[in-house]
Structure 1
Amino acid sequence: MSVPSPAEEPANPRANHHLRYLRSSLHLGSVFGDGWFALKAEAFARFFGTPVFLVTQTLVVGLWIAVNVSGLVQFDLYPFILLNLAFSLQAAYAAPLILLAQTRQADRDKALAQADAQHREALAQAAAERAQQSAQHMQTLLSLLEQNTRLTELTHELSERIEALTQDIHKGVAGNAQVSQDAT
């Protein structure tokens, strides 16, 4: 996995945003390097575990034994010493290559685990910040709701006082009109 260094980052900073947690491991080199040999050895070791390799090896061994037992060619007679030597040679190279691939994979897994831990920490911090902001917003909303309730109560009280004053004025005006009518 190739993670761009800050100097190699694209113009769009979100293009490799998901790789930002791997940057802390960029200075670490692979145990076996990233040279041609290490990459080819790892690819070869990975090939050992594929169905293509297993089927091909089985066909080659079956053909080897069939050709030598049938007598068509007799370059490796029973007990197939040359075939055993080939298997020994294969095992002598396969084991170190597989160990090399496992070590390189362990290095990648460790870097990914560290990046994952940093990502989880960043998520937890963001969640805590959101919770704090939510609590502040809730406090502001409660304060605004209390102010609204007080204003509604004040408006209701003022409306009642206006209604009482209006009735008093109406009684006064109606009483004066009654007095003026009686006087005439």
Structure 2
Amino acid sequence: MAERDDRFSRPKAARRRIRLPESKDRFGRFTESFARAMGTPAFLVGMTVFCGFWLTYNSIVPAEAQFDPQSQGFPLLTLVLSLQASYAAPLLLLAQNRQDDRDRVQIEQDRLRAERNLNDTEYLAREVVALRMAMRDMATREFIRAELKSFVEDLDERRDRDQP
């Protein structure tokens, strides 16, 4: 009975839980790096060397040492390449979908920026037109001189009339 009480007095051991990825973005970044790596010349050269070594080894060594016999048509190599392709295709599609999402967001931002630029340009065009119209209505130096001259002449005429 004391043994049973002791078992309840200790904390229960932590359960091991399956850890899910912390975020979808981490997996998305992985798919993009995978897609980027598969599109490089280094990957293609590496796969060619790998397949060439595989085929050469299983063709040259004695039949007892072959792990993927040539006589059977290299079934293990076919399986490995099929497995690689079965994982590569969905990962490439996921990377493409992420790129499409980024492109969609970029296009929307570009559209909004273009709309703002258009509004700004229209506003500035209206302001320039308003300034031009205001400049036409403004008195020029010659106009002011002519007005002052006529004003002075009117004053001279009044003065002459008022003086006997």
Q: Which amino acid aligns with 2:144?
A: L
Structure 2's unaligned 5+ residue stretches are 1-22, 158-164
Q: Name the counterpart of 1:39.
A: 29
Cα shift at 1:140: 1.6
- Deviation string 1:29-64 (CA, Å, 9 cap, x unpaired) is xxx931x32321222122111111111111111111
Within the alignment, does 1:114 sit opposite 2:108 as a pair? yes
Map of 1:63 onto structure 2: 53
Q: Give percent identity, aligned residues only.
A: 34
Report the CA distance between 1:69 and its aligned residue.
Answer: 1.6
- Write the letter of the residue equivalent to 1:131: A
Aligned equivalents of 1:97 and 1:113: distance in 2?
24
Shift of 1:156: 5.3
Which ranges in structure 1 are unaligned for 5 or more consecutive residues? Answer: 1-31, 166-184
Q: Does 1:82 align with 2:72?
A: no
Residue matched to 1:127: 121
- How large is the RMSD of aligned CA atoms in angstroms? 2.6
- Give the match for residue 144 of structure 2: 151
Q: For 2:33 and 2:135, how far apart are their aligned partners in 1?
A: 61
Counterparts of 2:42 and 2:113 in 1: how far apart (Å)?
38
Contact 2:31–2:95 (CA under 8 A) maintained in structure 1 = yes
Query: Aligned-pair distance for 1:152?
Result: 3.4
**What letter corresponds to residue 154 of structure 1 in structure 2?**
E
Output the CA distance in 2 between the equivalents of 1:152 and 1:97: 82
Tell me if structure 2 keeps the 8 A contact 1:46–1:101: no
Q: Relative contact order (C-alpha < 8 Å, sep 6+): which is higher?
A: 1
Q: Contact 2:35–2:95 (CA<8 Å) still a contact in 1?
A: yes
**Residues 64-106 of structure 1, C-alpha deviations (whole Å, 9 max, x = no match):** 1112222275111221111111110011000100110011111
Give the TM-score, by structure 2 length. Answer: 0.69
Partner residue of 1:7? Answer: none
- Number of aligned residues: 131
Q: TM-score of the superposition, structure 1-length normalised?
A: 0.62
